[in-house]
Chains A and B, each alone.
Chain A
């Protein structure tokens, strides 16, 4: 009797609990469903965003931070584009295969004319264009230095540059606003004629701002001098090599840990030590 009573009670209690449990189950499963849908949607969205970020060959406005930071900061407002008096800058449109809405320019079409007051950088609201990289505050006023900008670097294609054929072109040299600094002429004897010099344009990456006036001026069908993003075109020496004849070059080695070599029984002792082995020094 007791058993059946408690059984019945148990059943009733079970029934009362069941709705609660069912509710809980429903909630949990629905929550899990939402999370799953969110995750799937989120993954697809992320894939798209990740692809959309890639544009290694894009030239950014002056003062732009490194591409990774730039992509993070650019709010795609277009104020820099509107500020440019030469219509150099453009915003990437959907379908351009560039990070959407971000500013860029194509030097072959309209190069950067290196305005002294750099009107494109101050309007940037988020600091994607870093005003401090192209100016400094002297006596309370902001002084712009347009030569500090590093939008890219010009690279000469020596096979397609007619100056390397012997034609004394120098169009890019004369177009360069930092003439003799960013592009200078190297003279080489024209061996074919024996009587002339070749005027070969050479770019110094330390001064080249990447404005693209050279690319715009180049006379060949496809420009033989092109502006490429710095991290694509330039190399880095690293800390293995140093100019021993220049004390200031040692600054480059600061902070490097030195080279770790594998120690073998033979190399345990330094070269000088093994050379001096067996010699009786007085």
Chain B
């Protein structure tokens, strides 16, 4: 983050641009693949740099873990994490009225964004994306972007737990699909598990932990953001990061 801001304020050429498209050390392009796809849907062919950049980013996340973007890079995540933290400390879950929302909303949103991009000739999600707004705002100037951040914060705090990140954000949906076959995975060691369920309390995408206490499996669903909270919180060493292929080979032996 600091490098991005420094590029704008002091002209450092280490990491320029923003999360939509950047240049590393003035040579390596990096681009948001979801944004590039929207531009394709809008009917325009992007230049070489954007294509290369999108390719590099996609490859990286396919190998490392798609939604690692969500937990390690995305600026909005910090906002929703804060909301979640306050929720936990305040014990909201036990008191509030629960709204149910499907975790598939984000996939519908993603599909919609491509349709709208196609019909209106411009990258539809990028126009409204709070992720872009926040990051761009921090580097270039916020304007009314703070209103978007406040909206998401209040939404996650009072309306729906993990509302934005877990249900609505199509960028998260996109990275879930990208990370379906990634290498880094959290692995559950069922014999060590004492069923304390602390991991499920802290996990923003609880459905990925369906195997806790039941089977020794790695968390394979693309929705896992690889945030590592479950690993940190587990006192019994039943959850650890590991490499997927590795796990398969072990089993075969």
Chain A interface (Cβ < 8 Å from any Cβ of B): 34, 37-38, 41-42, 45-46, 48-50, 52-53, 68-69, 71-73, 75-79, 81-82, 90-96, 99-101, 123-127
Q: For the complex formed, measure the closest distance between the CB of B6 and the CB atoms of chain A, giving whole angstroms.
A: 11
Please give the distance in Å from A191's CB to the nearest CB on chain B. 51
- Would A45 and B112 be within 8 Å (CB), given that A72-B39, A93-B142, A93-B144 are in contact? yes
Q: Does B182 contact A (CB under 8 A)?
A: no
Taken residue by residue from 145 to 159, chain B's Cβ proximity to chain A (1 for < 8 Å, 0 otherwise) reads as 101100000000000
Question: Which residues of chain B come closer than 8 Å to A52, judged between CB atoms?
Answer: 127
Q: How far is the CA of A102 from the CA of B90 in the complex (A)?
A: 40
Chain B contacts with A in 83-111, Cβ cutoff 8 A: 108-109, 111
User: Which residue from chain B places its CB closest to the CB of A43 in the assembled complex?
Assistant: B116
- Contact pattern, B 1-41, Cβ under 8 Å of A = 1, otherwise 0: 00000011001000011101111000001011001100100
Most-contacted residue by chain B among A38, A73, A95, A126 (CB, 10 A): A126
**Are B39 and A93 in contact, CB atoms less than 8 angstroms apart?**
no
Q: Given known contacts A49-B127, A79-B17, is B108 in contact with A72 (CB within 8 Å)?
A: no
Contact of A42 among B31, B45, B50, B112 (CB under 8 A): B112
B120 CB within 8 Å of chain A: yes
Instruction: Kindly list chain B residues whose C-beta atoms are within 8 Å of the C-beta of A71.
Output: 121-122
Contact B142 A82 (CB under 8 A): no
Q: Are A91 and B140 in contact (CB under 8 A)?
A: yes
Q: A79-B21, A93-B141, A126-B46 are in contact. Are A53 and B126 (CB under 8 A)?
A: no
- For chain B, which range describes its interface: under 10, 10 to 19, 20 to 34, or 35 or more residues? 35 or more
Closest residue of chain B to A100 (Cβ to Cβ) is B127
Known: A41-B112, A75-B126, A82-B17. A91 touches B136 (CB 8 A): yes
B31 touches A125 (CB 8 A): yes
Interface pair A82/B133, CB less than 8 Å apart: no
Q: Judging by beta carbons under 8 Å apart, are B22 and A45 in contact?
A: no
Chain B stretch 131-173: residues in CB contact (< 8 A) with chain A: 132-133, 136-137, 139-145, 147-148
In the assembly, what is the distance between CA of A41 and CA of B140, in Å? 30
